[in-house]
Amino acid sequence: MYIKKILTTALLAYAMGCFAQNDPEPKPLQPAFTYLTLNPGTGNATLNWTPPSYNPLNPEPIGYIIYEPFEGGGWVPIDTVEANIFTYTDLINNGLTESIRYVLASQGPDEPSPLTPPHGSINVTAQYDSCGNKIDIAWNHYLGWGNRIDYYNIYIGEDTNWDNFTIATTVPGTQSIAYYEVLPNRDYYIYVEAKKRDEELYTKSNLTHINTKIANAPQYMYVDSIIAKDNQNEIHFTIDPNTEFRKFRVVRWDSSDSISSIFNAKKLYEFSDPNTIFYADTSDSWAARSRPFYYKINAYNGCNRLKKVSNLLNTIIIRAYTSGNKPKITWDKLYSSQGNTIRYYLYRISYQEGANPPEQIYQVDNPIETEYIDDLSIFEGQSYQPYFCYYVEAHEIIGGGQDPRISRSRTVCSQVNPDVAMPNAIDPLSTIMREGKPRNIFAPTISYKSTYKLIIYSRGGSVVFEGNSEGWNGRLPNGQLAPEGTYIYRLEVISESKKISSKTGTVTVIYGPKQ
């Protein structure tokens, strides 16, 4: 019995020894991954760790393994370092555009240690809000410190020398700010630095760049001219073609006073192409005949804010008052916000068989009264139509070699009442011409071209002649010469405007010596 017990004990000891020989070698402990930080300029990550604490039951690390994420999931080793090195810079990958992550393991004689918890870099982005005149800065939470972050330092500079930047602002654990101290059309470079709570550990983000570009406003913008016509006002304008603005409006005011016009401004036309040069305002065409309208061009930036306004140019209202052969022409003044010289040109259009070319009849600079009295007596007896038309051009003299701003009125006409002269006698057999008129024809002399109707009555009231724009030759309806004596006439003069003026009188038929 005793011998059997000894054998059993020996067999058990042998078996335990065999099992012990098959146990795997213990793994080393994992290092303490303290932090990673980026070089903001290159985006390369530098990893920092401390070795594991000594434990006699675990082998000492013979090196350290660096891992990056594997595309299909998990982690893949990318490099190893010796056991006496506790930092590593990855020169292959960079975190300029996205957060990059790593884990570490201690390299053992046979197998590596378990992986450390991952650490991930801060990735910062920036967007420029031109409407709010601010930069919106946002970044992800640093992975690896949990919620043990004291604050974030925001560094901002205007070049790529990030190591010379100073802190622009500091924020607690939030991960976005709006930075307002910006100027337009500048380059700004930004990175973020996080500090770990209760430890002097800092990690930096990538360096991001933003340009605070705003659209170029037009350098110049003018209303060049306004041509007023019966049913519309034609507005011609010029906008700097190099502008990056894409919203413009033609606006009409009822006066030059910007305060009062706020309440009656009319937005006539909106367009996006700065090469647009013309607009015809057909609204309120009846009112446009009696009162001036003021036009300007507004330019708006992408935030729908008014940034540029052209000059204000108004229509000219012209009026003609008939007074015999001397019509009076008056017109409204052209507005100049800069007090420039305003030069007025008055033109007259006369008509014979058709319209003659416009003739400039008056020029004046900065008059106190904008009026002119025209003398039409020079046109009498020359077969001119009994109406004359006028328009005025106002030129704002800009100077500096620039073309003037021009406003042309619509055309108005003045009707002249023709003067009528009738001879008092007729000699049907005379061949004498007096002042270009034959003595054997009884016909009116009309100062302007008109048609007429002439009726001759005997003393007894019977009609002896009736003609349209035809004089009486002194003969009766039967072709015989009218007896000497007094006859009564009635004349109706019909102007081009169908206005009829009547005249009655007597004419004496006489027969003088034969010539």
**Is 326 in the same domain as 403?**
yes
Query: How do residues 457-507 score in pLDDT, each as one tens digit?
Result: 998 889 999 999 899 999 999 999 999 999 999 998 887 666 778 889 999
Query: How do residues 74-127 score in pLDDT, each as one tens digit?
Result: 999 999 999 999 999 999 999 999 999 999 999 999 999 999 999 999 999 999
Q: Would 283 be classed as within a structural domain?
A: yes
**Is 381 in the same domain as 428?**
no
- Secondary structure (H, E, C), 486-512: EEEEEEEEECCCCCEEEEEEEEEECCC
Domain boundary among 415, 445, 460: 415
- Find out whether 151 and 170 touch, Cβ atoms under 8 Å: yes
**Is 227 in the same domain as 163?**
no
Alpha-carbon span 287 to 252, nearest angstrom: 13
Q: Would 152 be classed as within a structural domain?
A: yes
**Is 228 in the same domain as 151?**
no
**Is 375 in the same domain as 444?**
no
Domain boundary among 120, 136, 166: 120
Count of H-run helices and E-run strands, the chain = 2, 40
CA nearest neighbour of 465 among 429, 501, 491: 491
**Is 162 in the same domain as 105?**
no
Alpha-carbon span 217 to 10, nearest angstrom: 100
- What CATH number does the domain containing 305 carry? 2.60.40.10
pLDDT of residue 19: 38
Q: Would 17 be classed as within a structural domain?
A: no
**Is 377 in the same domain as 465?**
no
Residues forming a β-bridge with 101? 120
Q: Would 101 be classed as within a structural domain?
A: yes
- What CATH number does the domain containing 487 carry? 2.60.40
**Is 45 in the same domain as 105?**
yes
For the CA atoms of 257, 259, 262, 265, what is the dihedral angle to 10 degrees? Answer: 0
Domain boundary among 297, 314, 331: 314
Q: Would 162 be classed as within a structural domain?
A: yes
pLDDT of residue 319: 96
**Is 343 in the same domain as 330?**
yes
pLDDT of residue 497: 63
CA nearest neighbour of 191 among 131, 128, 121, 118: 121
Q: Would 13 be classed as within a structural domain?
A: no
Q: Would 197 be classed as within a structural domain?
A: yes
Q: Would 37 be classed as within a structural domain?
A: yes
| Residue 23, pLDDT above cutoff 60 | no
Query: How do residues 200-248 score in pLDDT, each as one tens digit?
Result: 999 999 999 999 999 999 999 999 999 999 999 999 999 999 999 999 9
**Is 169 in the same domain as 85?**
no
pLDDT of residue 4: 39
112-117: Cβ within 8 A, 24+ apart:
112/27, 112/28, 112/65, 113/27, 113/28, 113/29, 113/30, 113/31, 113/52, 113/61, 114/27, 114/30, 115/30, 115/67, 115/75, 116/30, 116/31, 116/32, 116/33, 116/49, 117/33, 117/144
**Is 330 in the same domain as 399?**
yes
**Is 86 in the same domain as 135?**
no
Total tally of structural domains belonging to the chain? 5
pLDDT of residue 5: 39
Q: Which domain holds residue 298?
A: 221-314
| Residue 16, pLDDT above cutoff 50 | no
